Structures are given as structure tokens and as C-alpha cells.
């Protein structure tokens, strides 16, 4: 059993604030919730949005029914809350009628749950995302040397909890394929506006082969046989289903800077490899650099989430090919980071970057020093 950064939910749980825990299926939301409740001093009720009776009560928006439902409990916990119609209105009623009652709701489909809780709970919620296991969390179980020894395995199979605890590569691959086929895409394919699942899956494969590269929506549309608006909608759904993460281009109006295209990364490298059914060792791959870049970006995002980072993140490229993999901007200050799997040579700072942003910090992140960057 792995420890999670948010294991002690009391640190972020507060009266008058509904706590929403988002995350993809199988990242450990239910386990996190159950472990916390077992050690909690509160009298609690744990229920599931899959429960038809719970859907009827909380979906009714009836004050008396909801008041009876929560009566006598200090804490109400709803797992898979996105399955309950009008859940945002129900949680608002709980918050209004019984402000001393603590509330936790988890959801695996942010595009469903966020739409439902957004307006009703304005100013009344705290949201966190539970990602697959982070390097920060794994450092509680392995020392730095041991974690570096597992880097190749993490790039290939990712860091979903159940995958990490599996002992054989065959079992890891099977679990990841099941995740892609049965869980992760379930939320997207079940969405009422997705009428072409084959096109969506083809899009996902194209993104898997373009990790680290700028993506043209018109090219994607042409390759999968749909219009550009449909591609944009698919990308939005994949992002809100915790499958991919976009990265935008950085510019301060330098004419050369490219900002019209995004890069797309997978929240987990194991899922990316499962999409294209490639679990071969790093020495037999030609995409190790892209995998390492994807891994570093997501591990940094996990770290920033733990730290309540409020800045912006980007990549940077000019039309003549100068580029930097990752930029952070906080209160006007810039830090630039170039990702390189190889440790053989020192990367030079791009000339235009150095000339136009001379005060920016610049570092090279490789497989020797990456733990300093992500933990």
C-alpha cells in the first residue's frame, strides 16, 4: 500500500467548503477516501454515486429528503459523485442547511462533475486532482538511488498504483490495456456527443506518436476524417477525462515566437504506451526522449499541484527552430528548462531566448539530476 500526499484529507477539509477530489479511474480516489475515513474521528456516511437510491435522494433537490439523508453525521462522503444528477445543487443544499457538516465528493469525469458543481458551489468548494503516483510520493518508499533504478520501468509502464505493485511486465501491460479499454475511455466514449469512437481512438494514437511535438488540429482532422471543431471537442474531452494535458506556447510578442499550436502530453506514460501497444525496453525504442519529456512534465505538474502553484507553464519555440521544452512564469519571473535523456553534452541556451529574456533562469534536466526537478 502506497502512501499518498493527500492521505490526511483533514489538512484540506474545511467546514463551509465542499472538498472535490478529481482524478482518472483507478488512480486511487476510493482507496484514499476509505483510508482517511477509517482513521477519522468523525461520524461519517460513505456512499456511492452508482447507488440508485442515493441518486434519487440527492438528485431530487428536495430539502427535507436531503436533510434526513445527512442527519446525525459529521461528514458526508460521496464517491463517483458525477453519476448523481444535479449533484452540485444537492451539495449546495447540504452546505446551506447544515454548514457544520463536512463534505467530500470524488469524481472521475471532470467535464461532468465540474459542470454540475461549478455554479452552485461558487466560493463553496476546494478542488484537488489525484494523479497517478508521483516521484514525491514514491520517495517515501524508495531512496533516490532505488527510484532512479526504476526510471526505465516508470517510463514504459507509468505509475498507476496497481501497475506499480504488479510484479511481472506481462501483468503490468495487461492492466494498462484494461485501463485504456475499460476505464479511461469509458467516460469519454459514454459522453452523449461522442458519436464516432473509432475517430476518437485514432486521434489518441496520433497524439501518442506526437508527444513533445506541436500539434496541428487541421492535420489531425484530415488524418482521422472529421472536422477541426470535432477534433477540438475530442481534445477537450480527453483533457477533462484526465487522459491528456495540453501545453501552450510562450510569447511576449516577439514576432518569431510560435503560439498557434499546442503540445499534448499524456498524464501517464504507461497509458500512452498502452494506446499504441508498445511496452518494449528503452534500448529497443526510438521514442525514449519523448517518453522522458512526457514523464518530466507530468511529474513537475504533480509537484506544482502539491505546492498550490499559481503561475503559468509553457513551451517556447521560434519559427526558425530555436526551442525550450518547458517554461514557468511566476509574477513576471521566468525559468526555462530543457529536457534531455542523454547526459553526454551540455545544452546551449537558445540565442533569441538569451537576448530577449536575459534575466530568466535556465537549467538542463537529464536522467542524472531529474529528481531535483520533480521532487
In this predicted structure, the answer to whether residue 17 has a pLDDT above a threshold of 90 is no
Same domain, 120 and 139: no
What's residue 126's pLDDT?
Answer: 87
In this predicted structure, the answer to whether residue 111 has a pLDDT above a threshold of 60 is no
C-alpha cell belonging to residue 331:
509574477
Same domain, 64 and 169: no
- 315: in domain: no
Domain boundary among 77, 106, 129: 129
| Overall number of domains in the chain | 2
- 62-94, pLDDT tens digit by residue? 999 999 999 999 999 999 888 888 888 888 888
11-15, 110-114, 150-154, 178-182 — which is least confidently predicted? 110-114
- 317-332, pLDDT tens digit by residue? 999 999 999 999 999 9
In this predicted structure, the answer to whether residue 254 has a pLDDT above a threshold of 80 is no
51-60, 107-116, 259-268, 290-299 — which is least confidently predicted? 107-116
Same domain, 105 and 215: no
What's residue 110's pLDDT?
Answer: 60
- 268-306, pLDDT tens digit by residue? 999 999 999 999 999 999 999 999 999 999 999 999 999
Same domain, 124 and 160: no
Exposure class string for 48-85: b at 16+ Cβ within 10 A, else e: bbebeebbebbbbeeeeebeebbeebbbbbbbbbbbbe
What's residue 191's pLDDT?
Answer: 61
Instruction: Give the CB-side neighbour count of residue 125, counting CA atoms within 13 A.
Output: 23
Same domain, 237 and 301: yes
- 314: in domain: no
What's residue 109's pLDDT?
Answer: 65
What's residue 163's pLDDT?
Answer: 97
Same domain, 186 and 253: yes
* Domain enclosing residue 259, as ranges: 135-306
- 2: in domain: no
Amino acid at each position: 500500500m502506497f502512501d499518498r500526499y493527500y492521505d490526511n484529507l483533514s489538512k484540506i477539509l474545511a467546514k463551509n467548503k465542499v472538498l472535490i477530489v478529481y482524478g482518472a479511474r483507478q488512480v486511487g480516489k476510493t482507496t484514499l477516501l476509505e483510508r482517511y475515513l477509517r482513521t477519522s474521528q468523525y461520524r461519517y456516511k460513505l456512499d456511492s454515486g452508482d447507488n440508485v437510491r442515493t441518486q434519487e435522494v440527492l438528485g431530487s433537490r428536495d430539502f427535507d429528503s436531503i436533510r434526513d439523508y445527512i442527519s446525525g453525521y459529521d461528514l458526508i462522503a460521496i464517491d463517483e459523485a458525477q453519476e448523481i444528477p444535479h449533484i452540485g445543487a444537492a451539495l449546495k443544499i447540504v452546505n446551506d442547511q447544515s454548514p457544520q457538516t463536512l463534505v467530500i465528493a470524488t469524481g472521475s469525469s471532470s467535464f461532468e462533475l465540474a459542470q454540475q458543481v461549478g455554479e452552485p458551489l461558487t466560493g463553496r468548494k476546494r478542488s484537488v486532482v489525484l494523479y497517478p503516483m508521483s516521484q514525491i510520493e514514491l520517495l517515501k518508499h524508495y531512496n533516490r538511488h532505488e527510484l532512479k533504478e526504476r526510471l526505465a520501468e516508470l517510463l514504459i509502464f507509468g505509475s498507476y498504483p496497481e501497475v506499480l505493485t504488479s510484479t511481472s511486465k506481462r501483468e503490468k501491460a495487461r492492466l494498462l490495456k484494461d485501463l485504456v479499454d475499460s476505464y479511461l475511455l469509458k467516460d469519454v466514449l459514454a459522453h452523449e456527443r461522442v458519436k464516432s469512437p473509432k475517430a476518437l481512438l485514432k486521434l489518441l494514437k496520433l497524439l501518442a506518436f506526437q508527444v513533445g511535438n506541436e500539434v496541428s488540429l487541421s492535420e489531425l482532422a484530415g488524418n482521422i476524417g472529421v472536422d477541426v471543431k470535432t477534433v477540438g471537442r475530442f481534445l477537450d474531452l480527453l483533457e477533462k477525462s484526465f487522459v491528456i494535458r495540453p501545453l501552450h506556447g510562450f510569447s511576449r510578442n516577439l514576432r518569431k515566437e510560435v503560439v498557434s499550436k499546442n503540445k499534448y502530453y499524456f498524464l501517464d506514460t504507461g497509458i500512452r504506451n498502452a494506446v499504441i501497444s508498445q511496452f518494449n525496453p528503452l534500448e529497443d525504442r526510438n521514442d525514449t526522449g519523448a517518453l522522458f519529456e512526457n514523464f518530466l512534465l507530468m511529474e513537475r505538474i504533480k509537484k506544482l499541484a502539491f505546492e498550490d502553484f499559481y503561475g503559468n507553464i509553457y513551451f517556447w519555440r521560434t519559427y526558425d527552430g530555436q526551442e525550450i521544452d518547458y517554461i514557468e512564469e511566476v509574477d513576471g519571473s521566468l525559468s526555462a528548462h530543457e529536457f534531455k535523456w542523454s547526459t553526454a553534452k551540455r545544452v546551449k541556451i537558445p540565442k533569441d531566448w538569451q537576448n530577449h529574456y536575459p534575466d530568466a533562469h535556465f537549467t538542463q534536466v537529464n536522467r542524472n539530476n531529474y529528481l531535483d526537478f520533480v521532487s
